[in-house]
Amino acid sequence: MASPLKIGCHLSSAGGYMAMGQTAVSIGANVFQFFTRNPRGGAAKPVDPADARAFNAYAAEHGIGPILAHAPYTLNAAGAEPRVREFAEETMADDLARLELTPGALYNFHPGSHVGQGSAAGIALISSMLGRIFARRREKTGGFFATTVLLETMAGKGSEVGRDFAELRAIIDATAKALEMPADELPVGVCLDTCHVWDGGYDLANDLDGVLTAFDSAVGLERLKAIHLNDSLNAFEAHKDRHANLGKGKIGLETLMAVVNHPRLRDLPFYLETPCDLDGYRAEIALVKSLRK
């Protein structure tokens, strides 16, 4: 028997966990994504433990999860300035500590931009940050966080790190080396963004199996934990990153549904980041469900 489709969208976290869970159910979603704090700043609202406990029970009752926490865009672990890197490390460590209230969550972040230092330097900075965060946690508790950290595939605009699958694997391997542990034991995975990989030069429309083979060879499909399901306003390999509604962009609905229905991807959670309000998300969720095979 096929497993149920896990489909949802990005929601506002202003009302807390329970409000997000109830909103998700109201629009037909059983997963959702949210920002851990202001996406363009650093402030984070206090988490209400009672709200988190109530949500955990509600999520179990309604089959919601995994939820995907998204780091703020201002987090740049590969920044050239020490204060930028320090902010990234402090923010991620704090986010992961707060997510302990919702075990089993995923935490997604943009690896960063090397701002002229070169991708090798960027990879070294990102992996050393992850290594320090995990090492402190391991020293304190003897284990890791209850949250899996996800590197997001990037479109390759500017000096973004993570523009190809090999760079993501390099971050994972360097982090494992810093922790002196096997890479397959590291609590790090990947979130594949369909808009980003299309813009980055991976042809989902004409060679989806080839893209997945490339990912498996470079990173390993077992590390793919989530998918951002977005169309793109841009032509293939544009390196721009501009999301479009499903079927309203250059990737096209047929290709996006091939992703949703692919036997190696269909059991993953899918999170919409399309330019929608709640009614728009409700319609797109219903559309994806209607085309599920």
Chain-centroid distance, C-alpha 8: 13
Handedness of CA 101, 28, 38, 223 (dihedral sign): positive
CA angle 123, 85, 218 (to 5 degrees): 20
Specify which residues 31 forms β-bridges with: 8
Q: Is the peptide bond before 66 cis (omega within 30 degrees of 0)?
A: yes
Measured CA to CA, the distance from residue 35 to residue 10 in angstroms comes to: 8
Going from N- to C-terminal start, the domains of the chain cover 6-290
Digitized pLDDT (tens) for each residue of the chain, 293 residues in all: 568 999 999 999 999 999 999 999 999 999 999 999 988 877 788 999 999 999 999 999 999 999 999 999 999 999 999 999 999 999 999 999 999 999 999 999 999 999 999 999 999 999 999 999 999 999 999 999 999 999 999 999 999 999 999 999 999 999 999 999 999 999 999 999 999 999 999 999 999 999 999 999 999 999 999 999 999 999 999 999 999 999 999 999 999 999 999 999 999 999 999 999 999 999 999 999 999 99
Measured CA to CA, the distance from residue 191 to residue 230 in angstroms comes to: 13
6-290 CATH pick, 3.20.20.150, 3.10.290.10, 3.40.50.12280, 3.30.110.70: 3.20.20.150
Note the pTM of the prediction, 2 decimals: 0.97
Measured CA to CA, the distance from residue 141 to residue 152 in angstroms comes to: 27
